[in-house]
Structure 1
Amino acid sequence: MSKDGLTSGRKACFTTGSIMRHVLVMAGTGAIGLMAVFAVDMLNMVYIAHLGQPALTAAIGFAGAVIGLQIAVSIGLTIGISAATGRLIGAGHHDDARGTASSALTVTLLLTALLGVLTAFAAHPLLCLLGAKDEALRQATHYLCVVSPFLPLICMGMGCSSLMRVVGDAKGSMHITLVGAVISAILDPIMIFGLHEGLTGAAISTILSRLAVAALGLKGALRHDMLCWPVPSRILADTRRVASVAMPAILTNLATPVGGVYVTQAMARFGLDAVGGQASIERTTPVLFSLVFALTGSVGPIMAQNMGAGLYHRVRETLTAALKLVLVSIGVTWVILASLQHYVVVIFNAQGDGAMLIHLFCSLTIGSYLFVGMLFVANAAFNNLGHPLYSTAFNWGRATLGTVPFVWAGQHYGPGGVQLGQAAGVIIFGTLAVVTAFRVTRHLAGSVPEHAGAGVMASDVPVISAESAMAELDELAAPLSDECQ
């Protein structure tokens, strides 16, 4: 490393070239990986639903609400790692970025190990609070006890994948999630149907998939020289740097599953069919809107590098490009799903209130995801511009003021009213968030705090074939990844 602290041979590849191209490549490759993972999660729900036991379908919904809280914490920690390292890479300090990432990932693994074990011990009372009863309670408790202790594995994969995106390896990051998804896709039907293991089989498949993702992620991060043995003397300082973004990000990401917990409790009052229908929708939306979900993690490194380089106009351009993609993605998906809604009901073997909820979603409330996308993109901007508490405020506003009163009022009209209430709240907070994001970007040059982080995480609709999509995105991503080496 030279005297000025810069590492030679590395450049911030997102500080030049077309912003829209960078967003398309990063979001496109990220979306394919996420779509594969969420598609397998959705298939789990389909498999369980076709066992013909409503209690098992509801158990997936109850357990998913708790796992959502775990993943929210993990994503928040990953955001902090990506934020700190992304800005350092943009400024040219690769060695410092590597040391920070190593310290932060070590602390992340320890924290998530503790969280996983505590969740396993507290699974039964947590699920009782959600309204789970009888067989659904027993099955959901067992599932959480098996899966939760392995939470650090998925955190390792997520953290390393985010480090690969920070240096521009969108294709490599995508391949990690694809491998995990393929493993689950192969093992799920074998474990659930072939070996007749039901939810236990799904849990074992999940663990093996997480193990593969963790191993491949670690290999990828080491290949890009983004990890080393942590230096004890700098762990505290590095943790503080990452925590300045990670803690608000954890609070931000917890808001959505906490709001989801309230919705699950409201649905539980209408029986297992309603809980199963809501769970089916929650498994479907990440697949349908994988591009929207991927944008949050994809635009983070782009904003991070340009923020570190002081190119504020390119940060604003990234925000605009991401919102355009959200609008197109939601519009196209709405048209397709509205025309295929009867098939969706059949696929999930939904009955009664469950079928009604799926029809309502496909016809009407799917439109609310335009505002969910606005909120996601605005959160990415806030985290990159040194205003992570804005993300926290808007997400918790949506989860409380934007959920509780609307869902409470809607539940008087049945499970459909609960869904409509949930959709109404996000319209308000999504709009306010994106307006605030544009206002913040207009005052970048003199208003960014010194500790500002840069970068966020998160974390197959049959129109184009998967093979052709992969080929096109690989062709785009390859030269981008080469530029970043």
Structure 2
Amino acid sequence: MNRRTESLGRDPVGPLLLRLSLPGVVGMLVQASYNVVDAFFIGRGVGPLGLAGTAVAFPLQLLILAMGTFGGVGAQSLISRSLGARDLPRAQGALDVLGALSLVLGIATALVGLAWLDPLLALVGGSGEILPYARSYMRIILLGVPALILGIALSHAVRAEGDVRTSMHAMLVSAGANFVLDPLFIFGLHGGVAGAAWATVLSQVVLVLWLLRHYRSGASVLRLRPREFRFRRNLLGEIAAVGTSEWVRISANALVVGAVVRSLALHGSPLAVAAYGIVSRLLSLAFMPLFGLTQGFMPLLGYNYGAGLHGRARQVLVLSLQAATAFSAVVWFLCLVFPSLLVAPFTAHEDLLALGSRSLRAMTLGFFLVGFQILGAATFQALGKARPALFLSLSRQVLLFLPLLLLLPRWCGLWGVWLAFPLSDLLSALLTLPFVLSQIRELEEAEGGRIV
């Protein structure tokens, strides 16, 4: 085992968490930039209907992301815990299973999506004048799904070794390609939303090639062995048990986005759908640093827990929760005070700018609680505790948000859609609190420290 991996159980927690998380934060912001850059150029080059079409396609993109993170998060937890326990063969086996799983899921998802594209788009609110834009965009995105899922999975595997820098570099190169290709395809080649989709697909191919180059260089603890890609029942079961919670969380988010789009079409207009397309991209930028923190936090917590360093694991957990809450509070302040400045880059349409600004302010009233809830759910993923991880991943989006989305618009119309977001943030944070406090006490008891 190399010195970088062993540092997870040895170096001071604060600087180590920063070192692990900062590249992850940058990497996740880069990942979010794909949709944000698309929205920027589509808003300027195609207009509100183009934004509405990509907003309709966004739930399906989230389902694709869920497929990649299903194996990636599960394998990351297993690899980091195995390395912490000095079980290198088990960690290598987890990577082999992840490779096989990613290829199967990538090909199957692309085939199913292409075969059922129109019914899937109709299910999430694609109809009328919006549907052609959504169809044109998603048809091309689906062609790149195998590369997208493999890239996500390998990024998680690299981070499981504590090497978040390589993952960050790969995402930076990929995002740079997307930023260059988007205006080329949209404006230079007059490709519209289809051009934006081609730019995204090609940039994902760049990501995969960069990560394959890393594994071929021999710089990693584990080896990528395509000839050993196969399913091993015991390892696949453990990967699936942990990864299911993340798959459910992102799939639930896709369900939520689809339900929001349908509700906006019912209680609002295509302009409301376009406004949500802008706001959802902005919020993806706000969420991604939290997910980047989670990526640095999970292998650090999993390694120390697997190594029996329970006091150190508690320190990692408490410090990470504090950092996530502080970041969420900053985002909350910016969205409440400067909503117009945040929305303006995406559109010159005055009505869309006004509606998007009001929507952003309403949707983020409870955002200062979001970081705590995300890190709370990720805690149990990192520790391999699948049931609480699954329950907490479901709580905010499925158990709380969807019922609110069904009820509030009946009483408040369009504004009921927006207000469902802060109410679900508040209730889910309250639900997560006792789980987190119980886990902190368990770590204190295992270490023999003082119980608070």
Residues 26-35 or 411-420, more deviating: 411-420
Q: Residues of 2 paired with 1:359 and 1:117: CA distance?
A: 38
Q: Residues of 1 paired with 2:263 and 2:362: CA distance?
A: 20
Q: Which residue of 17, 35, 42 maps to 1:48? A: 42
- Structure 1 position 225, deviation (Å): 4.1
Residue 394 of structure 2 corresponds to residue 400 of structure 1: no
Say if 1:77 and 1:249, in contact at 8 Å, map to a contact too. no
- Per-residue CA distance 1:390-422 (angstroms, 9 max, x = gap): 122223232233112322233232322211112
| Paired residues, number | 441
Where structure 2 has 5 or more consecutive residues not aligned to the other structure, the ranges are 447-452
- Structure 1 position 120, deviation (Å): 1.6
- The 5 A counterparts of 1:38-187 are 38-51=32-45, 53-187=47-181
- Structure 1 position 346, deviation (Å): 2.4
Q: Residues of 2 paired with 1:232 and 1:119: CA distance?
A: 25
Q: Residues of 2 paired with 1:49 and 1:10: CA distance?
A: 44
- Root-mean-square deviation over aligned CA pairs: 2.3
- Structure 1 position 377, deviation (Å): 0.4
- Structure 1 position 350, deviation (Å): 6.5
Residue 444 of structure 2 corresponds to residue 429 of structure 1: no
- Structure 1 position 104, deviation (Å): 2.1
Would the alpha carbon gap of residues 189 and 143 (structure 1) be closer, same or farther in structure 2, given more than 3 Å must change? same
Q: Residues of 2 paired with 1:66 and 1:329: CA distance?
A: 28
Q: Which residue of 2 aligns with 1:12?
A: 6
- Per-residue CA distance 1:187-207 (angstroms, 9 max, x = gap): 001111111100111111011
Q: Residues of 1 paired with 2:136 and 2:328: CA distance?
A: 36
Q: Which residue of 1 aligns with 2:30?
A: 36
Where structure 1 has 5 or more consecutive residues not aligned to the other structure, the ranges are 1-6, 448-485
Q: Which residue of 1 aligns with 2:225?
A: 228
- Structure 1 position 215, deviation (Å): 1.1
Q: Which amino acid aligns with 1:193?
A: F
Q: Which residue of 1 aligns with 2:183?
A: 189
Q: Which amino acid aligns with 1:290?
A: M
Would the alpha carbon gap of residues 109 and 438 (structure 1) be closer, same or farther in structure 2, given more than 3 Å must change? farther
Would the alpha carbon gap of residues 196 and 233 (structure 1) be closer, same or farther in structure 2, given more than 3 Å must change? closer
Q: Percent of pairs identical after alignment?
A: 23
Q: Residues of 2 paired with 1:281 and 1:233: CA distance?
A: 41
Q: Which amino acid aligns with 2:31?
A: V
- Which structure 1 residue ranges, 4+ long, deviate > 6 Å from structure 2? none
Would the alpha carbon gap of residues 234 and 292 (structure 1) be closer, same or farther in structure 2, given more than 3 Å must change? closer
Q: Which residue of 2 aligns with 1:265?
A: 262
TM normalised by structure 2 equals 0.91
Would the alpha carbon gap of residues 65 and 277 (structure 1) be closer, same or farther in structure 2, given more than 3 Å must change? same
Q: Residues of 2 paired with 1:388 and 1:423: CA distance?
A: 27
SS in 1 for 2:101: helix
Q: Residues of 2 paired with 1:94 and 1:180: CA distance?
A: 30
Would the alpha carbon gap of residues 107 and 233 (structure 1) be closer, same or farther in structure 2, given more than 3 Å must change? closer
Say if 1:161 and 1:173, in contact at 8 Å, map to a contact too. yes
Q: Which amino acid aligns with 1:215?
A: L
Q: Which amino acid aligns with 1:358?
A: G
Would the alpha carbon gap of residues 406 and 224 (structure 1) be closer, same or farther in structure 2, given more than 3 Å must change? same
Q: Which residue of 363, 374, 380 maps to 1:365? A: 363
Q: Which amino acid aligns with 1:422?
A: F
- Per-residue CA distance 1:73-115 (angstroms, 9 max, x = gap): 2212211110111111111122331222122221222122101
Structure with bigger helix share is 2
Say if 2:21 and 2:293, in contact at 8 Å, map to a contact too. yes
Q: Which residue of 2 aligns with 1:457?
A: none
Say if 1:267 and 1:418, in contact at 8 Å, map to a contact too. yes
Residues 217-226 or 318-327, more deviating: 217-226
Q: Which residue of 2 aligns with 1:459?
A: none
- The 5 A counterparts of 1:200-219 are 200-219=194-213
